[in-house]
Amino acid sequence: MTKNKHENVLSFLQSQTNKYDDRVALGMRNRYGWSEYTYNGLSLMSRKIASYLINDLKVAREEKIAIISESKVEFGAVFFASVIAGTTLIPLDIKLTKHELKSIMSNCSPKIVFVSQKYLKTAIELKDEIPSIETIILMDDMGDEIGYKNIYRIPENYDTKLRHRRMDSVALIIYTSGTTGAPKGVQTTFRNLYSQIVDLKKAMENIFKEGTKVNIMSILPMNHLFELSFGFCAFLNLGYSIYYTKTLRPADVLSVMRAKKIHFMCTVPSFFKMLKMQFESEIAKQSKFKQFMYNINYHYIAKFLPFQSIRKMLFKDIHEKLGNDFYGFCSGGAPMDTEMGKYFDRIGVNVTQGYGLSEASPVVTFSMGKKIDLKSVGFLLDSYKAKLDPETGELMVKGPAVMKGYYQRPDLTSEVITEDGWLHTGDIAKIDKKGQVFITGRIKNMIVLAGGKKVFPEEVEKALDGSQFMKEFCVIATTKKSGSKKGTEEVTVVAVPDDETKEKYDEKTVESLITSEIKKRCLKLCEYKRPTNIVVVKDELPKTATQKIKRKEIVELINSR
């Protein structure tokens, strides 16, 4: 794809259709087998939906349409139909409550809502409460008897031409997870997406040669910009085949990986942990001899082998579960535990990292090169410039992928984007002589102690990595409620015991074990950084759709006690 040939971005769909034609673009297992769109089929379905929007529903250029659906092949067709019809797409987080969805949709006022069968009831209730919504369209072939049109039963008209729009026109508005009250929508333009597609094409060609037939496993929600920009647009631009799964259970994911000979996937760090636990659980069921050989191979042999192909042979059983053709992962969405990365690298699975934020459309850095430093989030993509704030160490970036701004919130936009176009990321970073970026903390998470000392939770969390008693944990600032330092912040660890520990010991013993473990591990930190408050909770910590821990909710929960 060249810039001159595709001035209107994302119209690249037709060129990719001509190039790949009958190659599978999107696929997903259903009760009948596999539902698959070829590149040609995706193009036809997208044009049919776009024609219906323009000719039957009289949707105007720049009109907003929303989508409430889990990741599936039809989602991709609606995405491109929106592009062809000249509308702005609002992909909504299916984990939000009806109240949260109403807040967002009242803000952006969509005319059309595309919805999967699973969320039809929610869409109907929202239509009754939001005046702008005129039509609900199902994304499943349910027949017309339920009273709603679906994309499979609309007129077979494929002749609609692309409604051209400027590069600075808004293609998507992405609302942050858990938005309530005053919604904050990131406006992503065609220029933003085009920049990402070009940059990520070059980055991925460090992994797979151009023209290679690659099968991708997608497990991230398509309402998330990381998945839409990287895991969808960038991969389709490369001619890859993308497969979805109905659940995130390791057994279901591995089943699809084997069936479709998956080569690569983008995921979040929590998935690494689930997959590792799955492998270790299965190894624990094997004979003592096989367990012994696994430990010898892992601890004493693989660590000294330089070639991935040989390491794959040592752990043949694991790679058979992955489908034998699997190359590796790209981790994003949250900081990755370097020990987890080392585990997969040692068993012969490559691990790369990406870093970014929705306001940057969203990828800013990507691991490139033969020797990858797992502590780094990689190098800047070609179109980006970066600098560090001399006072705070905050990473600031500038480039064509920086968002247009927050929808109808110029006040908030001016807080994060300077007049000359530099985006405040909110992340503390270091950049080495090679240009590798290291994220060391987040400004808004910073804990300011009574004496003015500053503590970054990420540094304390790093010290706690690898605990045998904790399933997960989070370091936050809580407010002292008594004593001479009442009203000031203190370092608090909120920990969830792992299942084995909960089953093995009573509640008091569990709390004692975890408290002792935390204090021991934090001895490597200077005294003022060590937690002064430790809270053990039974339930899993609240998370976003991409498994980021919601620190704000945890702070509110602990402070309310």
Q: What's the pLDDT tens digit per position in 379-418? A: 999 999 999 999 889 999 999 999 999 999 999 999 999 9
User: In the structure, what pLDDT confidence band is assigned to residue 278 with cuts at 50, 70 and 90?
Assistant: very high
For residue 160, what are the contacts with CB-CB under 8 A and spacing of at least 6?
A: 47, 50, 51, 54, 55, 84, 85
Distance of CA 141 to the CA centre of its chain: 28
Q: What is the mean pLDDT of the chain?
A: 91
Q: What's the pLDDT tens digit per position in 218-228? A: 999 999 999 99
Average pLDDT over residues 463-482: 89
Q: Are 249 and 262 in contact (CB under 8 A)?
A: no
Can you tell me the distance from the alpha carbon of 83 to that of 73, in angstroms, rounded to the nearest whole number?
16
CB burial string 385-420: b at 16+ within 10 A, e below: ebeeeeeeebbbbbbbbbbbbbbebeeebeebbeee
Radius of gyration of the chain (CA): 24
Q: Which domains does the chain have, with CATH numbers?
A: 12-189 (3.40.50.12780), 372-442 (2.30.38.10), 446-559 (3.30.300.30)
Lowest mean pLDDT among 126-140, 248-262, 440-454, 487-501: 440-454
Residues 105, 108, 111, 117: is their CA dihedral positive or negative? negative
User: In the structure, what pLDDT confidence band is assigned to residue 12 with cuts at 50, 70 and 90?
Assistant: low
pLDDT at 182: 67
408's tokens = 């109808």
pLDDT at 318: 96
The percent of residues in the chain predicted with pLDDT above 90, rounded, is 72
Average pLDDT over residues 545-560: 83
User: In the structure, what pLDDT confidence band is assigned to residue 73 with cuts at 50, 70 and 90?
Assistant: very high
Can you tell me the distance from the alpha carbon of 423 to that of 147, in angstroms, rounded to the nearest whole number?
47
Can you tell me the distance from the alpha carbon of 428 to that of 103, in angstroms, rounded to the nearest whole number?
32
Q: What's the pLDDT tens digit per position in 18-60? A: 889 999 999 999 888 999 999 999 999 999 999 999 999 999 9
User: In the structure, what pLDDT confidence band is assigned to residue 336 with cuts at 50, 70 and 90?
Assistant: confident
Can you tell me the distance from the alpha carbon of 12 to that of 236, in angstroms, rounded to the nearest whole number?
10
Asked if pLDDT for residue 5 goes beyond 60, the answer is no
Can you tell me the distance from the alpha carbon of 159 to that of 44, in angstroms, rounded to the nearest whole number?
9
Element (H, E) at 171: strand 170-175
Q: What's the pLDDT tens digit per position in 529-552? A: 999 999 999 999 998 877 788 888
Answer with the residue of higher pLDDT: 200 or 161: 200
